[in-house]
Structure 1
Amino acid sequence: MSAAASGRQLAWLAAMPWVFVAIWSTGFVVARLAMPHAPPLTFLSWRYAASLLAFAVWIALARAPWPQGRAQWGHLAVSGVLMHAGYLGGVWAAVKLGMPAGTTALIVGLQPLFTALWVSRVAVAGQPAVTATQWAGLLLGLAGLVTVVWPKLNLGEVTPANLALALLALVSITTGTLYQKQHVLPADVRTGNFVQIAAALAVSAPLAWLEPGTLVWHPDLLVALAWSVLVLTLGGSSLLMVLIQRGAATRVTSLLYLVPPCTALLAWWLFGERMAASGWAGMALCAVGVGLVLRPPSR
């Protein structure tokens, strides 16, 4: 490999975590784009079905191996229901009920913080208890969240209903991540995702028949659907797989806390959603809190 080619490869490897953050941030904006034209579970059911078709083609062309054993299929299904149906369903329904995309991103973006705390305290044997510094970081993160959300309660942008849905999404993605770490063995990302998304579709599609509203095939909806399938599901999942394989999982987890400000900027640019100075201050508190939680303990 030439020096120029090697340099380009190193530059791409360094950029991958940032590209992943940029892709992840668009998920909340896509929800904002699509929700005027479709009920959330109906749209997500179409997204899951189209993603399954895309993954099936990819799996067939690559001859990707399937997970081994019924137990692994079951564990993938449970994690898929939590991480797709519960998480995405909560996020999209919260946006549908009027919660700004940036606020939704901030609430569910606390997931790596709570995951890190839970793993260090309970889930992983031999890990030290949560330190005083980490608890301080948790309290700062919660203070930042309250700083962002509290003014919006008075403005009517955050209501008990959409807040409950956003918290459902947070609980679902956190529980699903912990469940997958505990029970799911390493698997090909294409076939693993196929099983997870199929389980999410099996749960979401029947519920979609019960929700009010009808789907309107507006150009914005088509753009949102195409982006959700091709960029978020196929591209984002594949990029995350590469990052984890290269040992960048911890860095990706910490970079996820850049998602709320990125989402807020995109929502301001595309939809005119405004964030007050107190909101940006709250996001800064969250970032400082996460830095304290994820900082390696002193030796």
Structure 2
Amino acid sequence: MTLDRLAPAIFVLLWSTGWVVAKFGAIVSEPLTFLSIRYFTAAVLFGGLCLASGVSWPRDGRTVLHALVSGAFLHGLYLGAVWWAIGEGVPAALSSIIAALQPLMTALAAPFVIGERLSLRQKLGLGLGFLGVLLAVLPKFFGAEAAEMPASAIVVNMLGMAAVTYGTIYQKQHLQKGDIRAIATLQYIGALAVTFPFALGLESLHVDFGLAFLALLAWSVLGISMGAILLLLYLIRRGQVSRAASLIYLVPPIAALQAAAIFGEELTVPMILGTAIVVAGVYLTNRKDVAPAE
């Protein structure tokens, strides 16, 4: 099988683990502090990979600036908002559904920003995906957690969704050229430049250094920040931005499966049914049209 076929599935599996990491990360470190360390480590490792591989760095100042800005939105503002909101008490299920609004927002904005047209089938697929996510996590809204959710944290979580939506489109607009590894290095520098000042202003920079922290950091950097992000950048560059964004719909149901396996959270019928609908929606959005026979 080619990378084009395998990349979406691998990306979803890697990216979905971020919710588990966020939940564990709150135990060993403050969220923005953890993310700052993660971005710094990822930038250093990516930079070393680029040097070892002889990667050609962007020589155009505008390309460097675009990479820094896209990283600030895709990683810094997005994950910073999500992790901070979870740390403030927003349940992971609610946070995931807010993040799952991104494909819908991207699909709605793409025609106006980059002139990308969606077929009727793609629109149907996006709608099905959104419906599936709603069905999977809606029961969480009626538990005891619902009354304890801070409004300010929910707003910040929604701003994070808006940031990654804009970052995805910005990436498609301005970063079609250049080595992906070099671009990723610059993006994490941009993410660090945004996240660390917030960590200084809002947190005490407390970290419980130990085996648990090192394991979480290793997976966050190698599995998610490097593995998943390289695949996401590859998908954005190879296909339509709305098709790449639609993969985010698969993350909440798979994250729920991981939470059930690791934390013993209950798997409900709505979650299982919602997952099936999500899969159908993503298939419709990503399926390539077959050229008519001549």
| 2:46 is the alignment partner of 1:47 | no
Corresponding residue of 1:260: 252
* Amino acid paired to 2:195: S
Contact 1:81 1:199 in 2 (8 A): yes
Using a 3 Å threshold, how does the CA distance of structure 1 residues 290 and 22 change in structure 2: closer, same or farther?
Answer: closer
Which of 191, 204, 215 in structure 1 is aligned with 2:207? Answer: 215
* Amino acid paired to 1:124: I
Which of 217, 222, 233 in structure 1 is aligned with 2:225? Answer: 233
Structure 2: segments with no counterpart, 5+ residues: none
Contact 1:40 1:93 in 2 (8 A): yes
Which of 156, 159, 180 in structure 2 is aligned with 1:168? Answer: 159
| 2:261 is the alignment partner of 1:269 | yes
Give the distance between the partners of 1:224 and 1:115, measured in 2 at CA: 30
Residue 220 of structure 1 and its aligned partner are, at CA, apart by 2.2
Give the distance between the partners of 2:216 and 2:167, measured in 1 at CA: 25
Using a 3 Å threshold, how does the CA distance of structure 1 residues 161 and 154 change in structure 2: closer, same or farther?
Answer: farther
| 2:18 is the alignment partner of 1:24 | no
Provide the aligned C-alpha RMSD in A: 3.4
Give the distance between the partners of 2:183 and 2:91, measured in 1 at CA: 32
| 2:69 is the alignment partner of 1:78 | yes
Which of 133, 137, 161 in structure 2 is aligned with 1:148? Answer: 137
Give the distance between the partners of 1:229 and 1:133, measured in 2 at CA: 33
Structure 1: segments with no counterpart, 5+ residues: 1-9
Contact 2:243 2:286 in 1 (8 A): no
| 2:110 is the alignment partner of 1:123 | no
Instruction: Note the alpha carbon deviations across 1:116-142, whole angstroms, 9 max, x for none.
Output: 22213x1233736x8598379549826
Using a 3 Å threshold, how does the CA distance of structure 1 residues 282 and 22 change in structure 2: closer, same or farther?
Answer: closer
Residue 175 of structure 1 and its aligned partner are, at CA, apart by 0.7
Give the distance between the partners of 1:248 and 1:185, measured in 2 at CA: 12
Instruction: Note the alpha carbon deviations across 1:95-126, whole angstroms, 9 max, x for none.
Output: 21233434423321232232122213x12337
- Indicate the larger mover: 154-163 or 222-231: 154-163
- Indicate the larger mover: 89-98 or 45-54: 89-98
How many residues are aligned here? 288
Corresponding residue of 1:109: 100
Using a 3 Å threshold, how does the CA distance of structure 1 residues 286 and 250 change in structure 2: closer, same or farther?
Answer: same
Using a 3 Å threshold, how does the CA distance of structure 1 residues 162 and 66 change in structure 2: closer, same or farther?
Answer: same
| 2:91 is the alignment partner of 1:97 | no
| 2:60 is the alignment partner of 1:69 | yes
Q: Percent sequence identity over matched residues?
A: 34
Give the distance between the partners of 1:269 and 1:114, measured in 2 at CA: 31
Give the distance between the partners of 1:280 and 1:148, measured in 2 at CA: 10
Contact 1:36 1:96 in 2 (8 A): no
- Indicate the larger mover: 93-102 or 37-46: 93-102
Residue 285 of structure 1 and its aligned partner are, at CA, apart by 5.6
Contact 1:144 1:281 in 2 (8 A): no
Contact 2:126 2:281 in 1 (8 A): yes
Using a 3 Å threshold, how does the CA distance of structure 1 residues 290 and 103 change in structure 2: closer, same or farther?
Answer: farther
Give the distance between the partners of 2:278 and 2:140, measured in 1 at CA: 16
